[in-house]
Amino acid sequence: MNLPIDVRINQLLREAFIHRNKLVAGFVIISLSMLAIGLAWPKKYESYATILVDNKNIIQPLMEGTAVPTGIADQARNARELLNSRNIMFRIMEFAGLTDSSTTALERERLLEKFKQRMRVSIVGRDIIKISYEDADPVLAQKVTQKLAEVLIEESRLKKTRESAAAYEFIDKQVREFHAALVESENRLKEFRSATLDAKPGTENAVVNKIAELQRTLEKTRVALREAIIKKQSLERQLSGEAEVTISLSREGQYQMKIAELQTKLDALRLRYHDTYPDIVSLKHQIENLKQAIIQEKKRREQAKKAKSKARDRYLDEAIVFNPLTEEIRSELSATKTLIATLKARISETEKLLKEELERGRRIHVSEATLAELTRDYQVNRDIYQDLLKRREKARISMNLDREQQGLKLSIYEPAFLPLKPTGLRFLHFALGGILLGVLLPLALLYGLLQIDSRVRDRRMISEKLALPVLAVVPHLTTPSEKHALTRNLRLLAGVLFFNLVIYGTAGWLKYSGIL
């Protein structure tokens, strides 16, 4: 059953009154313990220094496009790492007087851990690094903080100088290397040019034109040659003896045809007449005569052939042999033969020239590829070299800036101060906390116990939850002697509380007057 809050508070007060002795005892114990802790709690003084980070990084333009500029977060991390490096830590610890030459390595390591815990590096705002250090001694806290800030700046300056010097060295080395490469490629190009004279720009076009011209000439000459050969053949045919034979053969043919004609006529007559019919006899004679004529013709042809072989070019046919046209043809044939020989000679000459030109063209191709490669090498080397030269000059400037401490990135913004008030939990906190805790803790405990305890402490539990009639609530009857005892008890408790207060006051006074 959930009781209303005012009933609960009432109940708590009632129970608190019943257990007042325990509550007061608890209060006294807790508050005095806290007071004692507060007195014994070591004081810590924290000093801090802030360092302004110049965001204008000089290596940034130098490395533009190739490097990412370091942000403030990286700066803080760098600072932390820098300060956390053992050498620097040991140096500062020795400065703070924590260690000396007699400190053993193990002790040194232990002290280092403690030292690290006392030191903090954090980022404040956009570009400020805060270094804080706490110590029981405020003066030492200030000194160490100042030293930390100085060391940080000094170290990062050194680091930067080294960095820019290294960058310059690197670029310088690269410049030298590229210079050598450039000179070499220049030389190679020169040598190649002097070695191949025809490897000049435009040579290739000339060669191509020449080749085309030669090929055209060759084609023309070949056509002319073919024409001459055909002409020669034709002339030769005209002059050949085969013309005679052809004529002869044609006369034989005529005879044969005549015979066939007559034979047809003969056959037709034989159908109607006897062989003795005069026409038939006549026809037979005629056919026989024609046959004789054929035989004579054959004989004459044979004789002519024999004569031909004897008299070489002399034709048997007198009509042809003595033709004036033949003489003309013969002279033309001779001229044609001369032309053919000339043309052949010209073709072979042109082919030779063409071959040479093609060879030359091929040579020009190869040398041009080589030339392009060499030129490219040279150009690349030259470009990089020029770029590096510029960069080297920039690097030299930034190196000089760092050397002259002009491009400084870190500077002390706020120097370490002497802390007057201790940080962390102080005596006052403990004292006030003790009082508060002394009141609240026992009450909370009591309240918790009341929540757990199921025993009836309110009439509502009976009347509402158990639904039993409650006749009345009889308050506790106090006798006069009990009243006296109560009064005495309350006075005692008041006295205890007052005494507690006196202790508090005394402790506070001693604390703030500096005695404790």
- With contacts defined by CB under 8 A, name the span among 9-17, 149-157, 166-174, 347-355 that binds other proteins: 9-17
Largest CA distance in the chain: 211
What residues form DSSP beta bridges with 129? 51, 123
What residues form DSSP beta bridges with 47? 133
Question: Which residues inside 154-183 make contact with other proteins, applying CB under 8 A?
Answer: none
- With contacts defined by CB under 8 A, name the span among 34-42, 131-139, 252-260, 470-478 that binds other proteins: 470-478
How would you classify residue 125: left for phi > 0, otherwise alpha for psi between -120 and 50, otherwise beta? left
- Cβ count within 10 A of residue 427: 20
C-alpha distances out from residue 265 to 256, 260, 270, 277, Å: 14, 9, 9, 13
Comparison of 7 and 247: residue with beta carbon closer to other proteins: 7
- In angstroms, the CA 291 to CA 258 distance is 10
Among 473, 513, 514, 515, binds other proteins (CB under 8 A): 473
In this structure, the strands spanning 128-135 and 119-124 are antiparallel
- With contacts defined by CB under 8 A, name the span among 64-72, 228-236, 363-371, 471-479 that binds other proteins: 471-479
Count of residues making up the chain? 516
- Cβ count within 10 A of residue 335: 13
CB of 12 to other proteins, least distance (A): 11
Structure tokens at 295: 């035989």
- State the binding string over 251-290 for other proteins (x if CB under 8 A, else -): ----------------------------------------
Q: 141 with 45: CB under 8 angstroms?
A: yes
Comparison of 17 and 322: residue with beta carbon closer to other proteins: 17
- With contacts defined by CB under 8 A, name the span among 97-105, 201-209, 400-408, 467-475 that binds other proteins: 467-475
What number of chain residues touch other proteins (CB under 8 A)? 31
- With contacts defined by CB under 8 A, name the span among 11-19, 204-212, 401-409, 431-439 that binds other proteins: 11-19
13 binds other proteins (CB under 8 A): yes
- State the binding string over 416-455 for other proteins (x if CB under 8 A, else -): -------------------------------------xxx
Residues contacting residue 244 through CB under 8 Å, at least 6 positions apart: 304, 308, 315, 316, 317, 320
Comparison of 272 and 476: residue with beta carbon closer to other proteins: 476
475 binds other proteins (CB under 8 A): yes
How big is the CA angle at 300 (ends 297 and 305), to the nearest 5 degrees? 125
341 binds other proteins (CB under 8 A): no
Q: 233 with 336: CB under 8 angstroms?
A: no
- In angstroms, the CA 208 to CA 137 distance is 96
- Cβ count within 10 A of residue 27: 23
Question: Which residues inside 16-45 make contact with other proteins, applying CB under 8 A?
Answer: 17-18
7 binds other proteins (CB under 8 A): no
- With contacts defined by CB under 8 A, name the span among 64-72, 195-203, 296-304, 473-481 that binds other proteins: 473-481
479 binds other proteins (CB under 8 A): yes
Residues contacting residue 19 through CB under 8 Å, at least 6 positions apart: 446
CB of 460 to other proteins, least distance (A): 10
What does the buried/exposed string (b/e) look like for 74-113 if buried means 16 or more CB atoms within 10 Å of the residue's CB? Answer: ebbebbbeebeeeebbbebbeebebbeeeeeeeebeebbe
CB of 20 to other proteins, least distance (A): 10
CB of 418 to other proteins, least distance (A): 52
Which amino acid, 133? Y
Among 4, 202, 278, 480, binds other proteins (CB under 8 A): 480
3 binds other proteins (CB under 8 A): no
492 binds other proteins (CB under 8 A): no
Residues forming contacts to other proteins in the complex (CB under 8 A) are: 13-15, 17-18, 453-457, 459, 461-462, 465-466, 468-481, 486, 490
